Amino acid sequence: MKLNEVLPIDNIELNLKVKNKKELLIKMCEIARRSGKINNLDEIKKQVLEREEFMTTGIGNGVALPHSKTNAVKCSVASFAILENAINFDSIDGQPVKYIYLLLDRENNIGNHVRLLSKLSRILNTKSYREELDKCKTKEDVFSFFTKIEENE
């Protein structure tokens, strides 16, 4: 499965304004709901917040990859945001987060989930790719960015 297949244009936000990590995670779940692929938003929020309490998904370089495997979704779905102002996310490198990609998958879709997280980590940890994302002015630009990355792999 490709990144642009799980991330519809409507699930992308630019210059998102949030005050803290919890607000950001809840907002990302709400954005993911726009796809129509979420069966139970409250359950998704609960699971994403619990997963984050277990261990931070702030992977460094201003990037967070929160994720959950849950049957509260119909199929793989994601949301992506670039924050207006980076926030503390308890990241492994201590740096604030500016880029966040939430990935939700069905419990039985482990292989796909791991492959997508690995691909996202590699892409978003690449400085030149983050610089390209910073140049995106619209949701369509971000969607095209992820589509182009997929085509070049």
Measured at the CA of 82, the angle between CA 23 and CA 45, to 5 degrees, comes to: 30
Q: What is the pTM of this model?
A: 0.94
Domain with 82 in it: 3-148
At residue 5, the pLDDT reads 87
Question: DSSP E strands: which ranges in the chain?
Answer: 12-16, 58-60, 63-64, 67-69, 77-87, 97-105
8 located within any domain: yes
- For 43, 83, 115, 136, 153, the CA distances from 13, given in Å and listed in that order, are 22, 8, 23, 11, 25
Quickly state the pLDDT bin for 4 (edges 50, 70, 90). Answer: confident
CATH number at residue 60: 3.40.930.10
For the segment 82-107, what is each residue's pLDDT rounded down to a tens digit?
999 999 999 999 999 999 999 999 88
Task: Report the number of distinct structural domains present in the chain.
Answer: 1
The answer to the question of residue 153 being in a domain is: no
Tell me whether residue 30 is in a domain.
yes
At position 78, the amino acid (one-letter code) is A
User: Is 143 within the bounds of a domain?
Assistant: yes
Report the C-alpha gap between 21 and 88 in whole angstroms.
7
